[in-house]
Amino acid sequence: MSRDVLKSQDWFLNAIRSANVKSKQIYAKKINQTPTFNASERMGIYRNAYRIRLKECLAEDFPVTAKLMGSKKFDRISEDYIRLRPSRYSSLVDFGENFAKFLRNKRALSKIFSELADYEWAIIDCRFTENRPKNLLKPDQLAELSPEEIMVERDPSVFAMESSWPLIQVWRKKRQLPKKKSFLIVHRRDRSIQFCSLDAHAYKIVSYLTQPTSLIAVLSDKTFKNFDAKIWNRTFKTLVKNEIVFYRHKNFSIL
């Protein structure tokens, strides 16, 4: 390692990372200048490029967080992040890795921003995850094996996260993506009011059952002609389990 090279690079990197512009004389000692292009301006190009490049990278990786926060605030927070968490990555693609955590630690900032940043980072991470392994068990093979022999795994691309905010809706709205229809229900379990979203199949069943209907009538109704047995069983099972739909004998009155 060359000490001279280290010394020069140490100075140069500090000069472009520093928030304070040094005096023109200091730059002129280290950097050649011409009458029309002084050393301070020359270093200014590198200083600006350093900040702009990293800020653009954050804005590209967290577009909705930036939009929701507002450009001024996002710019200020990006400056802080660049100063306090300078890049140690070989590629820019990793620079935003700690941004959500950084936002989480800012107490004055609403948690929606860090959660949204987590969500946006998961979208980036997702692209780079392993593919699903090959040679997976098919459902009919399960019966031939004992539970000890069967492994249950989550797909490598799944990122699970908890949120107190409607992140997906916010993200879609701010990205101005076409609105996806959502299906929601409100119901009561004992004395507690419940809210939940349903998939399209479940919603179709729930909205169809405006009055008690015999199972045979439901099964033969043309409304459900596109439901295959798998969808039907899975959906019904979930609705029953969540106490949204129930079975009763036709001879027993509900009262």
Partner 1 sequence: MRNTPYLGFGLGLRNPHYKDVLKGTPKVDWLEVISENFLGRENLTAGPGLDRLLEIREKYPIVLHGVSLSIGSADPLNKKYMKRVKDLYEVVKPVWVSDHLCWTGVHGLNAHDLLPIPYTKSAIRHIVGRVKAVQDFYGRQILLENVSSYAEFSESTYTEWEFLAEVADKSDSGILLDVNNVYVSSFNHGFDPYQYLKNLPHDRIQQIHLAGHTNKGRYLIDTHDHPVVEKVWQLYEWLLQEIGPRNTMIERDDHIPPFEELVAELDRARALVKRQKRTA
* Residue 23 found at the interface with partner 1 (CB under 8 A): no
Selected range binding partner 1 among 85-93, 106-114, 183-191, 233-241, rule: CB under 8 A: 85-93
Report whether 235 contacts 201 (CB < 8 A): yes
User: Which secondary structure element, helix H or strand E, spans residue 194, and what is its range?
Assistant: strand 192-198
Tell me which DSSP letter residue 187 carries.
E
Dihedral sign for Cα atoms in the order 19, 23, 29, 33: positive
Kindly report each contact of residues 21-24 with a partner whose C-beta sits within 8 Å and lies 24 or more positions away, as own/partner. Answer: 21/47
Long-range contacts of 226-230 (CB under 8 A, 24+ apart): 227/201
Q: Which of 22, 24, 26, 50 binds partner 1 (CB under 8 A)?
A: 50
Min dist CB 97 to partner 1, Å, is 8
- Interface with partner 1 includes 213 (CB under 8 A)? no
Q: Does residue 66 touch partner 1 according to CB under 8 A?
A: no
Confirm if 60 and 19 have CB atoms less than 8 A apart: no
String of contacts with partner 1 for each residue 110-149, x by CB under 8 A: --------------xx-xxxx-------------------
* Closer residue to partner 1, CB minimum distance, 90 or 211: 90
Site for partner 1, rule CB under 8 A? 1-6, 8-10, 12-13, 16-17, 29-32, 34, 36-37, 39, 41-43, 45-46, 49-50, 53-54, 57, 86-95, 124-125, 127-130
